[in-house]
Structure formats: C-alpha cells, structure tokens
Amino acid sequence: MRQQTMNNPTNFFKSIRFRIALVFVLLMIIALELLGAFFVRQIEHQNLATFQQQITLPKYITDQITTALKNKDSNEGNHEIQDILSNLSNTNLQEVQVIDRTGTIRGTLSVSGQQTIGQKTTDLNAQKAISGEQSFLKTRTIKENGDSKELLITILGNNNSRVKDISGVLIVKASLAPVYKNIESVMQLFIVAGLIALIASIGLALFLARTLTKPIEQIDEQTTKIANGDYSKVNHIYGSDELGHLARSVNELSTRVEESTETVNAERNRLDSVLTHMADGVLAANRRGEVTIINQAAADFVGINREDAIGQNVIELLHLKGQRTLRDMLENLDDFRVDLSDDSKDLLVQAYVSLIKRQSGFISGLVVVLHDITEQQRIDSERRMFVSNVSHELRTPLTSVRSYVDALAEGDIDDKEMAQNFLGVVQDETQRMIRMINDLLELSRMDQGTMAVKLEVVNLNSLFDFVLNRFDMIIENDAKNRETPTKTYNIQREFSSEDIWVEVDPDKFTQVLDNIMNNAVKYSPDGGTITARLIKTKTRAILSISDQGLGIPRKDLNNIFNRFFRVDKSRSRAQGGTGLGLAISKEVVEKFNGRIWVDSVENQGSTFYISLAYVDDAEIEEEDWGAE
Ligand code: ADP
C-alpha cells in the first residue's frame, strides 16, 4: 500500500521527492529574487550615473555661460547665452535654463519658454542654490506629464566655501525614458534567463530528488514485503553512501528475519507434531481461562473438535464446574483427577497444571497435561479385587477346616463316625483349596507368559469325541457303582462328517473341554441332554456344547469369563467350583488364536461356543509327505 505513495498523484505532494524538489526550487527562486533585485538596482544606479554625466554640460560651455552672465549688458548677455544654448547638440536635453544670481531666468532652450526670460524663477532648488544654502538638491528625479525626468542644477561661478562668487545656476532637464527603456530590456532578459534557470532547476531538482528517493522507495518496498512475509526481494546497492549502508543493512535484516522466521516455523512445526502425536492431551489457556491451544488427544478426551474447543472456557471444557475454579488452578498447582466418562466410554484422566510466566513474572496463562489413567485404574482395581477375592475364597474353606479341626480337638475325635465325617469334609475343603491354588498358579503362568504350550495339529473330531467318551464313561460308572446315581444325563453328538484339523495343545484344550462339559453337567437338571456340535464354516471350525440347565442371566453373560465370577456363589461353591475354570478356558483358547463365547436363555439352557482357525487338508497332506 505504501508503495502507491509515489505513484498516486494525490500523495505525490506528500512525498519526500516533492519536498526536496520544492525546497530546491524555493531556494532557487529566493536566490534569483535577491540577485535580480541587486542586479536591477545596480544597473539602474549605474545608468542614472552615466546619464547624469551625459547631461552635465562640459566645463567650457558653463564657463562661456558664466562669462555671458557677467556681461554688463544684460540683453547682450542673454543673446550670448541663447547662442550657446542653441548650439548644444546633446539630444538628451529637454530643457536648459540659465538663471542669474538675482534669480532671473536669462536663457532657456525650450521654444515655448522664451517668454519666461527676464522673469524670476520659481524653482525652489534654484533659489536655494543661489542663496548658497547647503540643502538644495543637485540632482533629482521628477515626474512631469507622466514622464520621469532628471533635473540637474549646476552652480555657475565659484562656489568655494571661502570665496563665494556665484554668477547663477544652470538647470538642466532630461527625460529618463531611454534610461528606463534600457533597464527594462535588461530586466526582460534577466526574467527570461531566470525563468529558463527556474525550469531547468525544477527538472534538475526532480531528477536529484529521484536519485535520492529511489533507494528509499526500494527499501520501503522491501520492508513492506518483509512485513508481509516475502523475503525474496534484495535491494540493489547503489553506492557506499548512507543510503547504500541502509540498503545493505535492510538486506541483512531481511536475511536474518527470514532465517529466524524459518527457525521459529520449524520449531512450531516440531512442537505441533510432538503435540499431535502425543498420547497425552495438552491444552493451553490464557489468563481468562480461554483455550488457545489444544492437541488432538485432549480434544478426543473431551469429545470435541479442536477448532470448536479454541476460545472455550477450560473449566467448562474439563467438566470442572462446581469442583474447581480457574483461580484454584492458578494458585494450587497440585495434579488432580478428572472423570471424563460419558455414555460411550469410561475415561479417567490425571491433570497436571503448570503456569505460563513471562520474564517479568506476569502469569499469562496455564498449560494442562491430561494423562489417561483409565487402564491403570482398571488394572489397579482388578488387582485389588483379585487379592480380595483370593483372600475371601481361601478364607471360607480355611474357616470351615479350622472349625472341624477345632471340633475334633475338643473331643469329637472320640466319636469315630463323626470324626470320619469331619475328616472327610476337611479333605474336600483341602482338595478344593489345592485345586484353586493350582488354577491360580496356572493363571499366573499365563499372565506372565511362562505357560508352556505344545502346539500340534490334531483332529478335532477325534479329540472332542475322546472327551465326550470319558463323560459317557463316568455316567456308566456312576450307574454301575452306585445304586442311585447322583445325576443322569445324556450326551448327543452332532458332528460334521468331514474331519476338522486344528492346531492346539491337546492337553490344554482337553482341559478346556472338560471344564465346559463339567459345567454343563453341573448346571444341568437331572436327565437333561447335553448336545455337542462340531461344524466347519468357510473360515473357522466351530464347536459348541449346549445344556438344558438353568442358564445364565443376560446381564452376566459378559462377566462369565472373569476370574472368580459366579452367577450364584453359594451354589457354585457347594458344587466345588472355584470360579476360575472359564477364566482359564478363555486364556487358553485365546492362546490358540481362538474365541470363546456363550449364549444363554435363563431357565432354558446355555450354549458355549469355541471357534478356531482350521488347518487345510492340503497342508496336512503336505506335512504327512514331508514326515515320510
Ligand atoms: P465354577 O468353578 O464356579 O463353575 P467357572 O469359571 O467354570 O467356575 O464358571 C463360572 C460361573 O459361570 C459358574 O459359577 C456359573 O455360575 C456359571 N456357569 C458356567 N457354566 C454354566 C452353565 N453351563 N450353565 C449355567 N451357568 C454356568
């Protein structure tokens, strides 16, 4: 915009170029005026002096007139004077009057003035000259009929201060017109020359001003560009004068500004990318608590667009209204927890606040770093829950063991039958504790990743069938050994005719199937049917075990695989359950890249599913060939 200053005609008069030219021209005018005035005055002076000389009658003529005045015969004298005057050849003279010492006009050059001869003069200067007064004017310029005239009064005779012998005076009148005409023509010449000089000086001044202002304009253009972030322009350095130095300095300045802007930008980009890729949320706010910077993580935490968050109040954004004020945050820099959970997610963050201080100590804002501690919190609470569960689970059998042992110690040992009974309970409880400790050890090994897994490609149909056969056998044994079997059930197989091969650890997988089958038996009604299915889909093998038992409430379906979870604690415990079986099963199946889930309708039954990636027949054949 400033660039237009020079080009815009209205602003031209405000430009330095115009001002320099104006000063130059004004100086020129003043110089010309002074010179002109002095020159004209000098010429006028000189011309007038010359003119006076020209109209002064030579001495031999004034001597002749003096002699004629001294003639006793005044008429003769008058004639003589008239002769002398008429013989004068000076064309400048308009009038010559001879006056004698009595003040009488004795002769005149003008024809019309002839009758004044013999009359007394009225000219004051002539009278004063005759009377010998000092104050009479020897020469003077008078105006007569609109014409400037020179009047020259010469005393005839001896006007010496000591010997005063004045014969008369001579008055000479001459027109000054030719003198002024001459001066005028000189003046005209001077004016023309002055005008030419003035025009030339304006041109020169503009040119000079331009050579001065061009580098300034260039620097102006460059600094405007620098201000707009364009550092491409480089000043041409015209010389080693002050402007040359300035141009060089501005060039250097431009390079420095460019370098430091680049550094600042690079720093900002680095900071931006650090902030963007940080897992922690970062937000900065000004003194009024309005958010000025927010990274993606922080925006995600509070569930808002980064753009929308800018300008919002940090207290409202972090849902801290009613709990904490901005003042609290600025004065108390302790970290605190913020619950940012909503319907879609659980989110707990730890907020760390620090102040942004200027060098003067003035607090200009604050930075809040938000660290997601949801997972840590979950792990902590799970660990606490686990410890509490384990203690609780162990305390129950231990308390029961202790009470039976106490009873025995207090004398019940003497009652053989009762003692036998008590010892049986103690044995059962101890067994259960050992089972639980074993389960826990196994889970711990899995958690630590130290569980040994021996993967083998096995025929799932055979493996499943083998497990089910064992359960069939148990029923048979039960039926044979006891007169009234505890529980009867019947196992139905719905297997795909095709052999399905999977890669699992057979021992561990058998343990999983045993556990699910045991549960099915445990939670089935007497005489119920347990259906075992095995199918092959496009991508996976799916195995399922359905029972007709009491089922699992819908709300518990997601918790069933958690450690120590039991739908009905007392019932499960009564059945000798530890609440760890399904948790172990889940870990094991996931070790084989499989998935386990349950579907159930309360009071109708449950179905447990396991899906596994199957191994292609072609691969198995290849392996067989390879083995041979
Ligand atoms: P437990 O040793 O108590 O059986 P599990 O981990 O094997 O422990 O099972 C956890 C809980 O899941 C059981 O306590 C029971 O409430 C429920 N459950 C497991 N299988 C079945 C099933 N087939 N029918 C109904 N409830 C079941």
Candidate of 431, 572, 596 to mutate for ligand 1, largest count of ligand atoms within 8 Å of Cβ: 572
Which pLDDT score, from 0 to 100, does residue 585 have?
95
Ligand 1 atom closest to the Cα of residue 561 is 6
Which pLDDT score, from 0 to 100, does residue 418 have?
86
Which pLDDT score, from 0 to 100, does residue 295 have?
93
Q: Which of 114, 109, 68 is nearest to 91 (CA)?
A: 109
Which pLDDT score, from 0 to 100, does residue 506 have?
93
Ligand 1 atom closest to the Cα of residue 583 is 6
Ligand 1 atom closest to the Cα of residue 573 is 3
Please tell me the distance between residue 570's alpha carbon and the centre of ligand 1 in angstroms: 12
* Collapsed DSSP state (helix, strand, coil) of residue 86: helix
* Collapsed DSSP state (helix, strand, coil) of residue 576: coil
Candidate of 431, 582, 603 to mutate for ligand 1, largest count of ligand atoms within 8 Å of Cβ: 582
Contacts of 238 (CB under 8 A, 6+ apart): 214, 215, 244, 247
Residue closest by Cα to atom 21 of ligand 1 = 519
Please list the rounded mean pLDDT of every run of 10 residues in the chain (628 residues). Answer: 48 79 86 87 88 85 86 86 84 85 86 84 83 76 80 77 73 85 87 89 86 82 86 76 83 88 92 88 93 93 92 92 88 90 89 92 92 92 86 86 89 84 89 89 87 90 94 82 72 92 94 94 89 93 94 91 84 74 94 94 94 83 56
- The number of beta carbons lying within 10 Å of the beta carbon of residue 574 is 9
Which pLDDT score, from 0 to 100, does residue 393 have?
82
Please tell me the distance between residue 546's alpha carbon and the centre of ligand 1 in angstroms: 13
Candidate of 440, 518, 519, 578 to mutate for ligand 1, largest count of ligand atoms within 8 Å of Cβ: 519
Which structural domains are found in the chain, ordered by start? Answer: 13-55+177-251 (no CATH), 58-175 (3.30.450.20), 263-372 (3.30.450.20), 443-620 (3.30.565.10)
Residue closest by Cα to atom 11 of ligand 1 = 566
- The number of beta carbons lying within 10 Å of the beta carbon of residue 566 is 19
- The number of beta carbons lying within 10 Å of the beta carbon of residue 615 is 17
Ligand 1 atom closest to the Cα of residue 579 is 8
CA separation for the pair 509, 454 (Å, rounded): 11
Q: Using a cut of 0.95, tell me whether the model's pTM lies above it.
A: no
Please tell me the distance between residue 431's alpha carbon and the centre of ligand 1 in angstroms: 19
CA angle 297, 299, 303 (to 5 degrees): 115
Please tell me the distance between residue 362's alpha carbon and the centre of ligand 1 in angstroms: 64
Ligand 1 atom closest to the Cα of residue 580 is 6
* Ligand 1 site, CB within 6 A: 515, 519-520, 523, 547, 549-552, 560, 565-568, 572, 577-583, 606
Please tell me the distance between residue 451's alpha carbon and the centre of ligand 1 in angstroms: 24
Tell me the helix, strand and coil percentages in the chain, rounded to 5: 55, 20, 25
The helix or strand, by DSSP H or E, that contains position 337, with its residue range, turns out to be: strand 336-339
Residue closest by Cα to atom 7 of ligand 1 = 581
Cα 575 to Cα 200, 282, 359, 402, distances in angstroms = 123, 53, 73, 20
Please tell me the distance between residue 532's alpha carbon and the centre of ligand 1 in angstroms: 18
Please tell me the distance between residue 569's alpha carbon and the centre of ligand 1 in angstroms: 10
Please tell me the distance between residue 382's alpha carbon and the centre of ligand 1 in angstroms: 20
Sign of CA dihedral 277, 283, 284, 290: positive
Candidate of 566, 569, 578, 610 to mutate for ligand 1, largest count of ligand atoms within 8 Å of Cβ: 566
Ligand 1 atom closest to the Cα of residue 577 is 2
Contacts of 337 (CB under 8 A, 6+ apart): 348, 349, 350, 351, 373
Contacts of 590 (CB under 8 A, 6+ apart): 596
CA separation for the pair 126, 337 (Å, rounded): 125
CA separation for the pair 628, 620 (Å, rounded): 12
Please tell me the distance between residue 484's alpha carbon and the centre of ligand 1 in angstroms: 25
Please tell me the distance between residue 516's alpha carbon and the centre of ligand 1 in angstroms: 8
Please tell me the distance between residue 388's alpha carbon and the centre of ligand 1 in angstroms: 20
CA separation for the pair 178, 190 (Å, rounded): 18
Ligand 1 atom closest to the Cα of residue 550 is 25
